[in-house]
Structure 1
Amino acid sequence: MAKRGYHHGNLKAALVESALKLIEKKGPQGFTLSEAAKAAGVTPAAVYRHFEGREDLIAEAAREGYEIFADLMEFAYDSGAPSALARFEATGRAYLAFARKYPGHYMAMFESGVSITSNPELTIVAKRATEILEKAAAELSEHIPPEKRPPAAMFSAHIWALSHGVVELYARGEPGARTPFPPDELLESGIGIYLRGLGLLPPDET
């Protein structure tokens, strides 16, 4: 009797969905390829129709996550916020929103150890997400003379790291109980302090 997985029409998508659920439950290193196959209703051998192995499956989950992540960042940036600062802060909030809504994707992207450069498609979509934040950073620093302007890639990377830290420590699971402040407020105030310290806020927004 045929496994039900052969009848749902998109085995690859079903395997990624199964992997994401297992990642949420057990972490990116806590499940086997056989478990993912079983959850999708197919034999382990069927997985190799689309993936070379477990790491390849996780890489596809990460690629899908970066695609969603970049879309959210782009939407936040283009959402009509009234100032460069507001648009920049919106991208930070999009980071938190993504981590909350797509925990499996988030873990596949940032906690699995998957190499972005190992997969051309993953490299492209990850770069797209990075470039959106860099674009927002570049716009925010336009008022600073070029000779005094910090590289957009530098401080956008710092904000990415700040966002990641808030997510890891305060926005996911039990660690969130460590602070009486909402993660969104922590991130917004942290961004403000950081940008003011670098002199990246226009005079009329200080």
Structure 2
Amino acid sequence: MSKRGYHHGNLRQALVEAALGLIEEKGPTGFTLSEAAKNAGVTPAAVYRHFEGREDLIAECARQGHEIFADLMAYAFDGGKPSALAAFEATGRAYLAFARKHPGHYMAMFESGTSANASPELAAAAAKSRAVLERAAEALSQHIPEGKRPPPSMFSAHVWAMSHGVVELFARGRPGANTPFSPEDLLEAGIGIYLRGLGLIRPDE
């Protein structure tokens, strides 16, 4: 597959696909640029026509991941329908679904040590997905007087961190610390408790 991409003149993307496979297999710091080149069917020297080094290649994996992630989050949010709470919870489930379906991208984005500001392109892509969650958070606080609302960036970041924790608990075959709950149920319950504590949803919702 990778060699076919190279012959069709798409070496850059073939290298990204090779790197994603290696990240899934060995982690974001467990492979070399030479391995990525080999899996893409080219010499290591050819890699440098497109990437400055392994970190640059991982950053491109992360950028593409953020683009996919932002689209998935926006689809889940669906403009805040059918309700602010339902839309917010949907973004949490979308986070888990993305991590499950795109583990290579997810690890490049959040577990590689690559800064979201590594390049303007990566920063812009990361900001898109963050903005969706912040919009969902802001919609939840509309019933609270403006001066008393918690900053949406704060509680959206807290939910992001909670989502990441659930992903890590269940990631890569780990049994979820023997919890009887599914990742989705665990996250939804945690979000509900947190939002009620902030007064963003009523106790009976």
SS where residue 117 of structure 2 aligns?
helix
Quote the offset at 1:111 in angstroms: 0.6
Q: Distance in 1 between matches of 2:4 and 2:137?
A: 49
Question: Which amino acid is 1:145 matched to?
Answer: P
Equivalent residue pairs, number: 203
Q: Which residue of 2 aligns with 1:71?
A: 71
Question: Which amino acid is 2:59 matched to?
Answer: A
SS where residue 30 of structure 1 aligns?
coil
Is 1:23 aligned with 2:23? yes
Quote the offset at 1:180 in angstroms: 1.2
Q: Distance in 2 between matches of 1:60 and 1:166?
A: 25
Structure 1 residues 155 and 42, CA gap change in structure 2 (3 angstroms): same
Q: Which residue of 2 aligns with 1:105?
A: 105
Q: Distance in 2 between matches of 1:26 and 1:68?
A: 22
Q: Which residue of 2 aligns with 1:40?
A: 40
Is 1:179 aligned with 2:179? yes
Q: Distance in 2 between matches of 1:74 and 1:97?
A: 13
4+ runs deviating over 3 angstroms: 3-6
Structure 1 residues 154 and 79, CA gap change in structure 2 (3 angstroms): closer
Quote the offset at 1:177 in angstroms: 5.3
SS where residue 116 of structure 1 aligns?
coil
Q: Which residue of 1 aligns with 2:191?
A: 191
Q: Distance in 2 between matches of 1:6 and 1:170?
A: 36
Question: Which amino acid is 1:142 matched to?
Answer: Q
Quote the offset at 1:146 in angstroms: 1.0
| Seq. identity, % | 74
RMSD: 1.6
Q: Which residue of 2 aligns with 1:58?
A: 58
Is 1:130 aligned with 2:119? no
Normalising by structure 1, report the TM-score: 0.94
8 Å CA contact 1:171, 1:183 repeated in 2: no
8 Å CA contact 1:51, 1:57 repeated in 2: yes
Normalising by structure 2, report the TM-score: 0.94
